[in-house]
Structure 1
Amino acid sequence: MPLRELPSAVRKSVKYKQIAASIAEVGIIEPPVVFRDRNDPARYHLLEGHVRLAILLEQGETEVVCLIALEDEAFTYNRRVSRIAIIQEHRMILNAVNKGVSEERLARALNVNIGNIRAKRNLLTGICPEAVDLLRDKHVPMNVFTELRRMKPMRQIAAAEMMVAMNRYSTGYVKSIVAATAEEDLVEQKRKVVRGLTEAQIELMSRESAQLDRDFKLIEQSYGADHLDLVLATGYLGGLLRSAPIVRYLAQHHPQLLAEFQKITELQQAA
């Protein structure tokens, strides 16, 4: 028994067609998750896998292996899953090819053209290992790696560090890093003309990028010690707030401080 009805828009989506193609080619990889009805042991509620179930029904299937949950979760299993990053997908494709799976079959299973498979297979060509390691679990657009290839290895590492520090992985952001890169740090020794930017603006971006690199290195040097100090201070505050007399005193004489201390400890607990 599905917990929700699948909207018609989902059935028309590219993702739906990709999953349908994958099931037709290699079968079910992730079994649907069900929970036994509390009143009727012969009935099961579908917690996760509504799209897969709809596709199987369309294909005329009458049985599927499922995972049986021990608790009726309020949220679906999908929300617990970290979706695969593009570098991880690249490695999976390489592993499949090395095991003898043809590019054509992979393309059919993922419902994409073979050019897409080849692009992902060659994703990290020209990217230095240190930059790959920094971005290995990040959701980075494929075109970002095209831009990274235009820079020399040390600049690739600096660009990856800036992306992680700023939590920005868009192609536009990396293009701006390339535009601000000195020519000696570019593979072709020639900066690409960027629409809407003058030479003076690009030069200014280069200086600001160099300053950002220096600032980043300075922060990186003290980050470990600063983080340790923060953890120790937060732990000390947590210990104070577990004392009822101290909490009463702060509530009576320093309510604003108490509120801020509570926010700090709550943030640490959430992290």
Structure 2
Amino acid sequence: MGLPVHVDPGDGVSAAILRWVLRDGQPPQRAREVSRVVQELPREGNLPLAALAAAVFADAHALDRSRPLGRAMARFLALRAAVADSISGGAARDSTVAPAFEFTDPLSTPAGWRAAWASAGVTCDAVSSQVLVLNLSLVGDAPAVAICGACPGEPTWLTLRSLEGSFGLASPQDVFVCENPTIVEAAAAMSGARSRTLVCTFGRPSAAAWALLRGLVPAARLHFRADGDVTGWSIVETFLTEFPQATTWRMPPGMTAFEEELLGDLLSDLVNEADQTE
């Protein structure tokens, strides 16, 4: 949406943003509540959203996406970050007026919600958001690097928190992505540490899954699949839009089979080429 935000690029910025966020007749106390939260935002490091809410309001859910205050705060933080970027980028040279610019409502997507809070050092779903992997060898300083290397051949859950920091593949390789953990379990049972790298979204991809896959590009040659129902095709199409260089994995147009029905073929694809020549 286009926002003609008229602000003084100084102390008046936050006040102007808050007036816009609360323009739709929200109760008078909302501005005071937002101000209380802003005062308690972390100065350094990261703070879980629930911990922030509990510290300020003695209610760990006070800033949830389902609460009016949580939604107002996310919009305030997202717009504050956008204005700051505009000013630092030279878009606001006039001392009293910042031009209109495009702003995406952070409530429109889960990623937008998380990004709004992340701009203020607050984390959402850092532990509850997970992705399942098998034989994923990483380099970097993120905790996931050590976690993945601890037990080759064992299916491993990575949290979004464990992906904080740098990580990536040491060299280009194929990475297969499926929807159902049954495929991971079967691959581990059949091939163990010899299986090719496998990532499982366990349904629709979580924030952790997105963070992992984005971190693996460009070294990863991604091959996606899911169940052949409407939801599965939606997942695959979303992946291919995000990663246009990726390919599907045994999922030709019109396929309706569920992954478990193709288990034998999928497992044969996951056998390491070196093992196939032995």
Would you tell me which structure has more helix in proportion to its own residues? 1
Would you tell me which structure has more strand in proportion to its own residues? 2
TM over 0.5: no
